[in-house]
Amino acid sequence: MTANTLLLPGVDLWGAGYRVRISVAGHRFSETGFATADAANARVLEMRKMRGAGLTPAATVVSDPLLREAAEALLVRKRSTVSRKTKQRLRPRGIEWWERATRPWREGEFAELPLSVLRRAHVEDVILTRAMEVPKTARDELHGLKATLRYAGGRGASFDQALLGIEPLPVTIRRRKAVSVDQLELLAELAPEYAQRMLLLMGTAGNRIGELFTLTDDRVDLKERTLFIPAELCKEGSDKWIDLTLEEVALVREQLLVQAPSTPLVFPTKTGRPWRHYQFLRLVWYKATERAAVAWREKNKLAEDAPTPFDELNPHDLRATAATLMRDAGFTREQAASRLGHADSGKLLDRIYDVGDRQARVRKAIAEHAPQGLRAESKKQAPPSSAKPTATPAAGETVAG
């Protein structure tokens, strides 16, 4: 399809190609599988002529696309239309989510099967097996399948309605882990040198890893001590400014001094290119956590298989580390949530990210704000009374008026 090719009425995009639909004598006919817009346009003109002559199209088929075609058609819609919920076009991160959620239906074992032959039992078994390994991913892929089927059904395709009855997969919310300052510094020290400052910054500022992967030097203001994350690059979907501490400013300044001259990225790969998540895990994260675990056992004279704070630690746990350190330092829940970019005034932070010792914080607050007790502190803060006390007249006395 060239930029100047117009789709005639009755022709639309369908999967990787085009579809033709036309009504004849009250019956709807549909044909798919046209590779080009010109071929689809030619067929719809031919079918109109047959209808005008009172003939029924000879090659009519009920719409029965392959699962791959139906999933691709859904992606076309997601990329080109606005969300019913937000009334806005999906951001790149949203498009990426739908691409991941539909990938098994576009590339997996069911991809080349027509929708009409899919059966719940077989599909559900595959989804449940996958859920044993990656429950959240399996849940998202089930959502992608149901969205694909509903969209195809709305465009005339027939499929086993029992597929929509597959129960949503339960996912246990993982409470985040957090490491101490000493553990964070050990982790960074044993990471490859070009990633050490990024780990330290993640562990105190609480950036999402993707925000640092895409951070460019024009969005760093060392004088104002801020990082700017534009709406399209952050999960919240709104512009975000992150205030930095002095030690974080020092980290970013050092990083800019060793920044590769050929890239505007503040935290690029060793060769100056943007990170990919799997690449960062392989080249940085797995190495750092494995080395830190070994060093931790040696320092504490533990057995080789003894558990350590670095077991099953993932990059997003450094966001929980930052949340916990902020709260331990005296940040209010709202202040810590705002710095992380949460829009719920701290509810998510309390439930998932903050894993600090809350009893220790209470003791610290008592020592700082009310060491002698709340009544004593209240009396100490109360303004002194300026009025003299009025004497109560003794029995038989009168007060001069």
Higher pLDDT, 400 or 364: 364
What is the tens place of the pLDDT at every residue in 305-318?
999 999 989 998 99
Helix pair 92-107, 135-154: axis angle to 10 deg = 80
pLDDT at residue 292, as a whole number = 97
Per-residue pLDDT band at 399 (split at 50, 70, 90)? very low
Kind and range of the H or E run holding 228: strand 226-229
- What is the C-alpha to C-alpha distance for residues 232 and 154, in angstroms, rounded to an integer? 31
Query: Does 331 score more than 50 pLDDT?
Result: yes
pTM of this prediction exceeds 0.95: no
Phi first, then psi: what are they for 271, rounded to 5°? -95, 5
What is the tens place of the pLDDT at every residue in 17-48?
788 888 887 777 877 767 788 888 988 898 88
What is the tens place of the pLDDT at every residue in 44-98?
898 888 888 888 775 444 467 899 999 999 999 998 887 777 777 888 878 889 9
Count Cα neighbours of 194 within 13 Å in the Cβ-side half-sphere.
18
- What is the C-alpha to C-alpha distance for residues 34 and 20, in angstroms, rounded to an integer? 8
What is the tens place of the pLDDT at every residue in 253-308?
999 999 878 899 999 998 899 998 889 999 999 999 999 999 999 999 999 999 99
CB 43 within 8 A of CB 53: no
What is the tens place of the pLDDT at every residue in 169-217?
887 766 778 899 999 999 999 999 999 999 999 999 888 899 999 999 9
pLDDT at residue 5, as a whole number = 73
Average pLDDT, whole number, for the chain? 82
Higher pLDDT, 292 or 336: 292
- What is the C-alpha to C-alpha distance for residues 10 and 18, in angstroms, rounded to an integer? 10
Which sign, positive or negative, has the C-alpha torsion 351, 356, 362, 368?
A: negative
pLDDT at residue 1, as a whole number = 47
pLDDT at residue 401, as a whole number = 39
Torsion, Cα 46 48 54 59, to 10 degrees, reads: 50
